[in-house]
Amino acid sequence: MIIAIDGPAASGKGTVARRLAEHLNHAYLDTGSLYRAVALSVLRAGADPSDAAIASAHARDLDPNLTEDPDLRSAATGAAASKVAAVGSVRSTLLAFQRNFAVTPPNTRPGAILDGRDIGTVVCPDADRKIFVIADRKIRAERRFKELLGRGEAAIYARVLDDLQERDARDSSRVDAPMRQAEDAMLLDTSHLDPDQAFECALAFVTSGTT
Ligand code: DC
């Protein structure tokens, strides 16, 4: 079974995806971490993440260890990830790995759950279940703000809100694989749900019609 979970930053899609994967014993791939790793590689080289030639070279030669790097979750890496993700050749370089993960999940797991922006529309358009997770932008900014503070990063709420707005706009307006809800995806609004409630809604949808 392939489950595609998409949605904007801090919508709660990662928590839902991780919890579903644990519950169903499925393999889990956070595809944002791939774009973040490319971004981190570009930033560490002191280069511009919007430079298409540079970003694609870093995607081609990506060091997989970067997906575990402590700087992966920083605000700077997130903003740069959204820029490298707008480069078509970066996306095509990462596409095969994502599709392969979905079709042949590691450790012979019975299924795969991928979360990102274009999983239900481009990476796995034939996924068995698709969920598009959203939440009010101010609520998402509050979540991200608390997460950054929790990680010891100096954060200002208004700045986090602006960054999210900019990232949403860039992720949904790019030409190549823009973030959007697939026609056959369930819409899950987590604005007023806690993580347990969001997980229960997703699980009910995923298991509906299965035995
Ligand atoms: O989910 P995230 O915040 O870790 O993602 C970081 C950036 O990567 C996001 O702003 C857009 C990009 N991304 C993408 O374009 N497609 C995906 N499938 C996953 C992430």
- Average pLDDT over the chain reads 96
156 exposure class (CB count in 10 Å sphere: 0-12, 13-18, 19+): exposed
Residues 25-70 have pLDDT tens digits of 999 999 999 999 999 999 999 999 999 999 999 999 999 999 999 9
Q: Is 96 exposed, middle or buried, given 0-12, 13-18 or 19+ CB atoms closer than 10 A?
A: exposed
DSSP at 105:
-
| 202, two tokens | 């997703």
Candidates 155, 81, 69; CA nearest to 116 is 81
Q: In this predicted model, what pLDDT tens digit does every residue of 79-121 receive, in sequence order?
A: 999 999 999 999 999 999 999 999 999 999 999 999 999 999 9
Which letter, b or e, does each residue of 172-189 get, where b requires 16 or more Cβ atoms within 10 Å of its Cβ? eebeebebbbbeebbebb
CATH class of segment(s) 2-195: alpha beta
Phi-psi category of residue 209: left, alpha or beta, with phi > 0 → left and psi -120 to 50 → alpha:
left
The protein residue whose alpha carbon is closest to atom 16 in ligand 1 is 117
Least confident segment among 17-26, 32-41, 70-79, 131-140: 70-79
- Statement: residue 126 has pLDDT above 60: yes
Q: For a ligand 1 pocket test, name from 35, 91, 123 the mutation site with the most ligand atoms within 8 angstroms of its C-beta.
A: 35
- How much is the pLDDT for 209? 73
Residue type, 73: R
* Ligand 1 centroid, distance to 107 Cα (angstroms): 25
Residue 98's contacts (CB-CB under 8 Å, 6 or more residues apart) are: 29, 31, 34, 114, 116, 119, 123, 124
CA distance 39 to 61: 12
170: pLDDT confidence band, cut at 50, 70 and 90? Answer: very high
Q: Where are the domains of the chain?
A: 2-195
Q: Is the pLDDT of residue 211 over 80?
A: no
- Which residues does ligand 1 sit against, CB inside 6 Å? 9, 31-32, 35-36, 78, 81-82, 85, 116-119, 167, 171
Q: What is the per-residue pLDDT for 184?
A: 96
Neighbours of 22 (CB within 10 A): 12
